[in-house]
Amino acid sequence: MSASSLLPLLVLWPLAGGLLGLLLPRGAGPLLLGVSTGNLALAVALVDALAGAGKVAHSVGGWSTPLGIALRADGLSAVLILVAGAVAPLLALYASAAYAGRELRYFAGLFLLFLGALNGLFIAGDLFNLYVTLELLGLSAVALAALGGGAAALAASLRYLLATITGSLAYLLGVALLYRATGTLDLLQLSGQGPALPGGAVAFALMVAGLLLKAAVFPLHFWLPPAHANASPPVSAALSALAVKAPLYLLLRLWLSTYDGAWPLVAELLAAIGAAGVLWCSLQAVLQRRAKLLVAYSTVAQLGYLLLALALVPAAGAAAYGAFTLLLVSHVLAKAGLFLAVGNLARRAGHDRLDGFERVVQHLPLSASAIALAGVSLMGMPPSGGFNGKWLLLQAAIATGDWWLVAVILVGGLLAAVYIFKLIEHTFGGSDRPDATALPRRMEWAALTLAASAVGVGFLGQPLLRLLGGVP
């Protein structure tokens, strides 16, 4: 099979799996595991193909641009598809134990469609196709967040829905302006043109605002904590680890390619809101009394780091680009592991109030270890992936002379340590409660594997950066 056929397969395979998941009355568990494992194999094949070629492209329908749609993958797409592909089977493993019957069937269908949308977004080379994949991703995320939930989850999902559509529409209005000015939707044909176009700056502002809202970046994060904290553990993990990363990826792509990293003011503005997000939401995480809300605020804070790295890319180049990627990868793994582990504790305790998580370490030692390991990466302690990412970010900030950012990164790390230790303290302390129910072991192993990979990916920094390649 040619490398170019891999791109459409990465979309068709999970979509077909999702359709089957909804159609078939039984067998959702094995289907979910099988399809997500197959997807991982495709992702690995793509990485392999890119190691030789550097770039892969596919013209859908054989039509050239601007008439048709082009699918393209470079190092950044491959890293993201690989990490999403690696997380998916573990979430599937967890879900096949956590859900049963009707719920499992809908989770399988929706999650696989979500995965297809994610892959499709990472390889899309067309502005409107990106809009459709964004909407597919957003709607499947909303549906997952509402899956079998109570009133709080439904209210949070509705808010999530309104926020995600508003963000997409702002993005689409920007796309309309770009199409009007150029007559093309293709990213390659648009490359570098953005700043000089009539209405180009307005289009950029609209697209950036829409994507920041969809990524739940501070101060547009209002919808995220309730939606992520009220969903069930595998859904929270998928949303927090994967869904919010896609708009940031697209923002980076648009800014670097279509707008050629233009306007120093944009970099300063993004850095400023990134820094404010790191500080404010880390502080919010420290103040939370519910474990899942703590983890959700930690997500918004970590998104702030990603925005900092993104803002530094035009000025600092490879260091910031690498920092963005490594921070993203380690956050995906750590946050997925953390949400699953906290979900285990909450399931065992019957609630997720921190002051009630008493001495579960005796009953759920693996989940408690997962929390500790994920915490190591989120705090950015060596040898974790989070450390590598922050180290590169610090280098980028020092290289550009942004000393205030160095201070923000360090203070953010300290605050992360505070909220992680708060979580750990409640997990390991307190009195014994032997009456709780047992959990299937694979729910613990899935959490631990993810958290351990977040630390382990620290050793894979160099291969990942090689795969990523230079700043496009």
Partner 1 sequence: MTGQACYAVLGALLFCLSFHALIIAVHPLRRLLAVNVMGSSVFLVFIAGAGPRDPLPQALVITGIVVAVAATALGLNLLLRLAGPAEDDRPSAGQDGS
Partner 2 sequence: MKRLGHAVLGLLLLMLAGVLAWAVSLPVAPGQDVPAHIAGSLADSGVSHPVTAVLLNFRGYDTLLELVVLLVALAGVRCLAPLPPPSGGGAVGGVLRELAALLLPVLVLVALYLLWAGATRPGGAFQGGALLGAAGILALLAGRDRFLAVLEQRLWLLAGLGVGVFLAVAAGTLVWGGTLLGLPPEQAGILILVIESFALLSIAVTLVALFLGTGELEDRDP
Contact flag: residue 53 with partner 2 (CB under 8 A): no
Coil, strand, or helix at residue 223? coil
Question: Minimum Å distance from CB 314 to partner 2?
Answer: 24
Question: Minimum Å distance from CB 388 to partner 1?
Answer: 39
Element of type H or E holding 73? strand 70-73
Q: Which does 116 bind (CB under 5 to 8 A by kind): partner 2, partner 1, none?
A: partner 2
SS3 content of the chain, % helix, strand, coil (to 5): 80, 5, 20
Question: Which residues lie below 8 Å from residue 242, measured CB to CB, with a gap of 6+?
Answer: 84, 87, 114, 118, 332, 336
In angstroms, what is the C-alpha Rg of the chain? 21
Contact flag: residue 77 with partner 2 (CB under 8 A): no
Site for partner 2 in 337-376 (CB under 8 A): none
Name the site residues for partner 1 (rule: CB under 8 A): 128, 131-132, 135, 139, 142-143, 146, 151, 154-155, 157-159, 161-162, 165-166, 169, 172-173, 176-177, 179-180
The owner of tokens 């979509």 is 15
Contact flag: residue 9 with partner 2 (CB under 8 A): yes
**Nearest CA among 8, 74, 68, 61 for reference residue 469:** 74
Site for partner 2 in 269-288 (CB under 8 A): none
Query: Closest CB to partner 2 among 60 and 399?
Result: 60
Whether residue 285 contacts residue 419, with contact meaning beta carbons closer than 8 Å, is answered with yes
Question: Minimum Å distance from CB 93 to partner 2?
Answer: 20
Q: Where are the beta strands (DSSP E) in 23-108?
A: 56-59, 70-73
How far is 106 from 22, CA to CA, in rounded Å?
6
Residue 10 is encoded by which pair of tokens? 């990465």
Q: Which does 166 bind (CB under 5 to 8 A by kind): partner 1, partner 2, none?
A: partner 1
- The CA dihedral of 380, 82, 303, 124, to the nearest 10 degrees, is 160
Contact flag: residue 8 with partner 2 (CB under 8 A): yes
Coil, strand, or helix at residue 321? helix
Question: Minimum Å distance from CB 188 to partner 1?
Answer: 18
Q: Which does 158 bind (CB under 5 to 8 A by kind): partner 2, partner 1, none?
A: partner 1
Query: Closest CB to partner 1 among 11 and 252?
Result: 11
What stretches of 288-402 show up as alpha helix (H) in DSSP? 291-316, 318-349, 365-379, 385-399
Please give the size of the binding site for partner 2, defined by CB under 8 A.
Answer: 64
Site for partner 2 in 131-170 (CB under 8 A): 132-133, 135-136, 139-140, 142-143, 146-148, 154
CB atoms < 10 A from the CB of 70, how many?
Answer: 23
Q: Which of 85, 89, 120, 322 binds partner 2 (CB under 8 A)?
A: 120
Whether residue 150 contacts residue 169, with contact meaning beta carbons closer than 8 Å, is answered with no
Q: Which amino acid is at 34?
A: G
Whether residue 309 contacts residue 393, with contact meaning beta carbons closer than 8 Å, is answered with yes
Contact flag: residue 62 with partner 2 (CB under 8 A): yes
**Nearest CA among 165, 91, 143, 102 for reference residue 340:** 91
Q: Where are the beta strands (DSSP E) in 175-229?
A: none
Query: Closest CB to partner 2 among 22 and 436?
Result: 22
Query: Closest CB to partner 2 among 110 and 252?
Result: 110
Q: Which does 23 bind (CB under 5 to 8 A by kind): partner 1, partner 2, none?
A: partner 2
Contact flag: residue 260 with partner 2 (CB under 8 A): no
In the DSSP assignment, the letter for residue 460 is G
Contact flag: residue 63 with partner 2 (CB under 8 A): yes
383: cis peptide before it, omega within 30°? yes
Query: Closest CB to partner 2 among 19 and 460?
Result: 19
Query: Closest CB to partner 2 among 20 and 279?
Result: 20
Query: Closest CB to partner 1 among 132 and 424?
Result: 132
Distances (CA, A) of 200 to 18, 43, 177, 182, 380: 38, 35, 7, 10, 38
Question: Minimum Å distance from CB 389 to partner 2?
Answer: 32
Binding site for partner 2 (CB under 8 A): 2, 4-5, 8-9, 12, 15-16, 18-19, 22-23, 25-26, 28, 58-63, 66-69, 71, 101-103, 105-106, 109-110, 113, 116-117, 120, 128-129, 132-133, 135-136, 139-140, 142-143, 146-148, 154, 173, 177, 180-184, 189, 197-199, 202-203
